[in-house]
Structures are given as C-alpha cells and as structure tokens.
Structure 1
Amino acid sequence: MSLRLPAAVIAALFLVLIQTAGPAFAHATLVRSDPKDGAALDSEPTTVSLTFNEDVSTPAQLQVTAPDGAPLASKAPTVDGTEVSQSIDTANLAGTYTIAYRVISADGHPITGELTYEVTSGKQVGGKQESDDESFAERHATHLAIGGAAVVVAVGLLIWPRIRRRA
C-alpha cells in the first residue's frame, strides 16, 4: 500500500503537467496567404495578407521583395487578430516575388517564414537575356582567377620539397 500512493501521486502530477503544458508549446502557424504560396499571377497584387491559426501580436514584420531584390513595402504591416496585411508598391516586373514574415505568436515566440509567387506580366529583370556569344571566361572571370591561383599554389607545394632536397 505504501508503493501505491507515490505511484498515484506521480501519475496525477504527470497528467496535470501534460494538460497544462500543451498550450504553452503551441505556436501560431500560417494557414492561408493571399497571394497563395507558389501562385502564378497575371498582374501584381497591391496588398499581401497572411492568416494564422491564432492571434498574433505586434511588432509584426512583412517584407515583399521584387525579382530585382527591391523591397516593395513602405509602411508597417497591419495586424488584426489572426491576419497580417501589407500594402505594397508595384514593380512592373515579371518574375519571382518573395514574402518574408516574422510575427509574434500568442505564447510569445517569434514565427518566421517565407513564401513566393510569380508575376507573369511586366519587364524581365536585367532587361536582356544573357547572350550565347558571351564567353564562359567573361561570365566567370573571378572564379577563373581564384582557380588559377589555387593551381599555382598547388604546383608550388608539389615542387617545393624537390627543390629543397636538391639544395
């Protein structure tokens, strides 16, 4: 009978810990975005919004980046319960746009993530496609210089012991 009491107390404490610890470990998760992750759009949106499974708090960060790397938001995002939205400028560029976010979950933990969407209309980034006439050396001059230097050093290290033995 003396062993049953400690076992019952331990079991009761275990059940209490499991039931009270559950919500503390639950973080907000993204349940919807507009535009959707991976979407292909005919035109650029003027607003992006993210919806989470629980309320998020400020400060929230939401950054939309154009295909050329330029940020498209000039104001802070709006947080309304489970939704974070951001008005964005248009870039008039075709390509992949990135939405990076950081919000604070109800339990105080930061939640971060990244989504992308494609815009099929607009100017291509860079203005021109790389021509076939452009040589490999022109496109990779720095890499070739570093590789050449590495070869010179390697040959020097191989030859150095032989030079020392002869001297």
Structure 2
Amino acid sequence: MSKYEEGIKLIEERCGNGKDNLISLSTIALDLNADGKPRPYVRDVNAYYEDGVFYVAAWAESTKIQQIAKNKEVAFSVCCEWFSGNGIGENLGWVLDPKNAELRTKLRKAFAKWYEDISNEQDENCIILAIRITRGTVIKDHGAVCYNLDFVNKVETEEGKIR
C-alpha cells in the first residue's frame, strides 16, 4: 500500500462511513481589511465525507456561499481528527433537484439528529455545498506519522507539508 493510500484509509476511518463531521471551513471575505487585503473568514459546519469530498447542507444566501461564488478556494480542518487541507467549493444546487437525490438521502441519514429541525427543503435556497479536496494533511500518533496528500494527482507530496 502506498503512503497516499495509507493516508486515504486513515481519513476514511476517521471521517467516512456516514459520519457527521464537524469541520472548520475557511473562505475569503468579500470585503477587504483596512490595508486593502483579503481577509479569511471561518465557521464550523457539519459535513459528510465521501471519496475526497465533504458535503454540507447550506443556505444559498449565506455568507459562505456568497464568498465561495466569488472565490472557490477554501480551507478546512476536521475538528479533533488531525486532518486539514484545501479544496474547491461548489454549489450543487437545491437539495430536491433530482440530480441530488442519492446524495440528499446520504446527508439526511448522516445528519438525522438535526437535519429536519433546520432544513426547509421546499425552499430552493436549501442547497448542497461540495468541498472537493485538492490537498490535505492527516496526522497520526501525535505527529509521529504525517501524510501530505495531493488529492488531484493522488500521490503523497512534500507540498503543503506541516513543519
């Protein structure tokens, strides 16, 4: 098994299998700081992980979706799982769009404890956000083992290595 495959297996064990993951999701704000530079913006969201993608139930008019529409680059950290990285955010559209039917079922199952209480699926602003991971770092044994993964080329890499 390659080091890339070992890292992916670890991520699947920690984040996969229908788990409701809490991740910190960072975007770039639409407004600039006092020096005229972009500023990061972070918030915690629930996310379902599958095959290199986190899926989030979201509101189309939310700040995060507006920011992603302007700059699709995001960063994330999975709370308490020693896994962080970068990705591309994509609005997959309304949860009731027929193309989202299979994914919607998975999200409803993963988020069963709270989904019905906060999601108004009849409103077309109730959407699915995909975070397609481009690079990630997953740490094992308090840093004794570190996997730096290029999800695009499916290899372990030195780029983005935590020092």
Same structural fold, with TM-score higher than 0.5 when normalized by the shorter chain: no
- TM-score, structure 2 normalization: 0.27
More helix as a share of residues: 1
Question: Which one has a larger percent strand, Structure 1 or Structure 2?
Answer: 2
